[in-house]
Each structure stands twice: as structure tokens, then as C-alpha cells.
Amino acid sequence: MTGKPIIEVHDLEVCYGEAVQAVRGISLAVPAGGFIALIGANGAGKTTLLRSLSGLVTLQRGRVTAGRILFDGADIAGRSPSRLATAGIGQVLEGRRCFLPMTVEENLRTATFAQGLSRRRTREALDCAYARFTRLAERRRTPAALLSGGEQQMLAMARALVGSPRLLLLDEPTMGLAPRIAEEILAGVARLNRDEGVAVLLAEQNAGLALAHADTAHVIENGVIRLSATGAELAGHGELWATYLGLPDAPSPVPYHHEVTGPCKRNQGLGQSR
């Protein structure tokens, strides 16, 4: 399910302080319902690009020095993260961002509270989160600190989804996870995209996993897109892996086969009356 761009980036430049130019003229678009991956080595600029789209870059003392970001065709420069969330941009940025002493359910409730959901909508959002992530349903009274890394990542995603975003920004969701759990997490993301039409912009160092699911991947190096291609096209070019990712050869894409999330119809009562 893809359509016109839900988000467009034109000639974006982002700096930290005076010295570090982390993004140097990047342009890209994510179609509605599309799945786009950003791949590249450490320090390439993937996180900075995502922070710019989610309004968080200024909190890191960064600033957009040139270019435009359009969401649904409207310029979102300077909008706060909470306004962007309300507009339909969900984000799971680095580090999973759960409240560790709080239970799974309390973590979800902080997100519904932040979204200003009514009591009824909160119940629906919780039901939806537990349908998507059955493991969270089993652990709803467990403090987040006692969850596994994969479960914490699911919780971070469930929190990002309570407002029924139309675009989900994900920064390295598989970082630090065992390979099988990393596959499960990305398969869950792919299912959200495929079954619920949530557009995805994923920054991922695990290029093989990202390419297994993304419609298009952009290879970023030193703040610039060096190459854009379909996952299949990129997977076939071993020399690119050595050149841009420092890998000896192309990793083999992992076929989609895991299902970690249960069905939860988009707009199943979510995101209408807040």
C-alpha cells in the first residue's frame, strides 16, 4: 500500500554547534504506506536525520541550517515533538526509552496520557497494544526493568503506536538484540506496515535485515545519500557493502517469516476523539 509522500525531505542540512555538519543536503520521500530504510555505518548521519523529522534535534543542540521537511505537504520546521506526534508521526528513537521502574501497563498509560486520550480511547489503545504485542499482554504487570531487551523494544514501539501514527520513525530497533529477536522485531515492523498501512522510516545498521523488508534503501555516508535502490538491487552489489558499510560482502536478506504481533485493525477506535 503506497501512495503520495507522507513525508518529504528537501536538501536538508543539519549541524551540531558550529563544527559538526551531520547531514549535508539530503533529499528523500517516504510514500504513504511505504517502508524506507536508511543504512550506513556509525556516524553516517542516520540518527540526526530522524531527529530532525521528529523535532528532537534541537534538544541535542543541533539545528536545521538549510532545507525543508514537509509532512502531508505542510512545512513542519520548528514544530515540537508533541505536535508532530499529534499530527501522526510516531517515533522510537535510540535506547528504547521505557520508564524502567514502571510496569508495562503504566508505561503504555504514560503514552496515552501524553496523547490526551480519553478513558475509553485509553482502554482501546491498551487492547490494541496487547493484540499487537502478545508478549506485552502476558507481562503487563511486570516492571519494564525486568523485561528482556526485545520486550523493551516492543514496549517502546507499543508506546509510539498508541496515537495511531501514520508514519513511524525507528532508530536502530535491533541494536543489542540477539539475531532471532532482531528478526522478530523487524518482522513485527513489517507487519505493521503491510497490514495496517503505517509508513516506516527505519535507520538500521543491520543492513541485511533492513533490506529484507524495505521497499527502498538509502545508503548514507558522511551525511550524504550515496545510493538509493530497492533491497534486492542493493543486496546484489557486494562492492557497495565494502565501500559504504565496511562489510566484506553483502549480507543475505532474511525472508519475512516471523509473526510477533497480533492483528489490530488500524483506526480500531484509536486516534479519533482525543
Residues interacting with ligand ATP, by CB under 6 A? 16, 20, 22, 40, 42-48, 60-61, 205
Nearer to ligand ATP, 49 or 126 (CB): 49
CB of 223 to ligand ATP, least distance (A): 7
Minimum distance of ligand ATP from residue 21's CB (angstroms): 8
d(CA 192, CA 186): 10
Q: CA 200 to CA 170: how far, in whole Å?
A: 7
Residue 203 Cβ vs ligand ATP, minimum distance, rounded to whole Å: 6
Closer to ligand ATP at the Cβ: 48 or 174?
48
Q: How far is the CB of 136 from ligand ATP (least distance, A)?
A: 26
Closest to ligand ATP by CB, 223 or 271: 223
* CB of residue 4 to ligand ATP, shortest distance in Å: 28
- Three cell numbers at 127? 487492547
Which CB, 60 or 273, lies closer to ligand ATP? 60
User: Which residue has the CB atom at the shortest distance from ligand ATP?
Assistant: 47
- Closer residue to ligand ATP (CB): 44 or 104: 44
- Cα angle vertex 165, ends 161, 169, to 5°? 80
Beta partners for residue 235, in sequence order: none
Which residue number, 91 or 115, has a Cβ lying nearer to ligand ATP? 91
Q: How far is the CB of 43 from ligand ATP (least distance, A)?
A: 4
Nearer Cβ to ligand ATP, position 129 or 170?
170
Q: Kindly state the smallest distance separating residue 164's Cβ from ligand ATP, in Å.
A: 27
Residue 186 identity (one-letter amino acid): L
